[in-house]
Amino acid sequence: MALAPIFTHSRCLDHRAGLHHPEAPARLRAVLDRVQAVDPGALREAAPASLEAIRRVHPDAYLDRLAAVAAAGGGKLDPDTAMNAWSWEAALGATGAALAALDSALDGVPAFAAIRPPGHHALLEASMGFCLLGNAVIAAREAQARGRDRVLIVDWDVHHGNGTQALVERDPTIRFVSMHQWPHWPFSGAADERGVGNVFNVPMRAALAPEEYVEALWHAVGAATADFQPDLIVVSAGFDSMAGDLLGGFTLEPEHYVAWVDRLRTRFPAVPLVALMEGGYVPARLADGVVAVAAALR
């Protein structure tokens, strides 16, 4: 099976948030091992992100704080998020892989970033929900700096992408679509949270038929792009929306993510597309989802 380029960084395996923490290195290890078995030539090692790119989203004081915690050997940042000595380098590597995948997409080759820590809960000046840096928004801002003015971010993680929403909800040049379980942590993402008309939240109950999730997200993408032609599509690809995940109650299977990718590529055939790994807490299932999406991006 041929896969789209999959960018990662070796330090992403060294970040640890604590004993028995669900966001563990085994998640990424399972993905990389599966890719090695399926199409080892797809794996690419990225360079760490530059601070210049990250500063388009996060202020220096926050970045300095993260670096200092790592330099001190790590520590707890919030009830769900912690760092060890390698976490800052892992975050830079994860964002670097996201930007390398963006480079590939802008060059005409859709790509995937297999990364941790994830990013879609990260706020302007605070970590949250296992996330340190807002990778999807950093990629969007980098693309805009290169002349891709209008960006569509589609988040199919089972948790609301509250960090992404907070970072873009006052900017009409970015449209944000998030389908997520409701009620569920982080207890945000109501349908009436519209930003400046650029936010399209799709709160959904657990345990519905997977086709209901597929059509609901696609309807929201249609609404978000009815009067908005994107120059780039960034997917926050969370696979905790898959059936059986430890932290969610959705019922999706790999073929449903493939259906979304196929629809996006058919509707926007000339628009660069990049997907960034977010949640997914059953490692083997996460690997199933990543490989399916990477094959669909090929």
What pLDDT, in 10s, does the model give residues 122-181? 999 999 999 999 999 999 999 999 999 999 999 999 999 999 999 999 999 999 999 999
Judge if pTM exceeds 0.85.
yes
The total domain count for the chain is 1
Whether 1 is in a domain gets the answer no
Q: pLDDT tens digit string along 12-61?
A: 999 999 999 999 999 999 999 999 999 999 999 999 999 999 999 999 99
Whether 153 is in a domain gets the answer yes
pLDDT at site 251: 98
Omega of the bond prior to 48 within 30 degrees of 0, cis? Answer: no
Q: Give residue 160's domain range.
A: 6-297
Tokens of 227: 């009067």
Closest C-alpha to 7, from 87, 105, 106, 115? 115
Whether 287 is in a domain gets the answer yes
CATH number at residue 43: 3.40.800.20
How far is residue 28's CA from residue 31's CA, in Å, rounded to a whole number? 5
Close Cβ partners of 72 (under 8 Å, ≥ 6 residues apart): none
Hey, which residues are catalytic here? 121
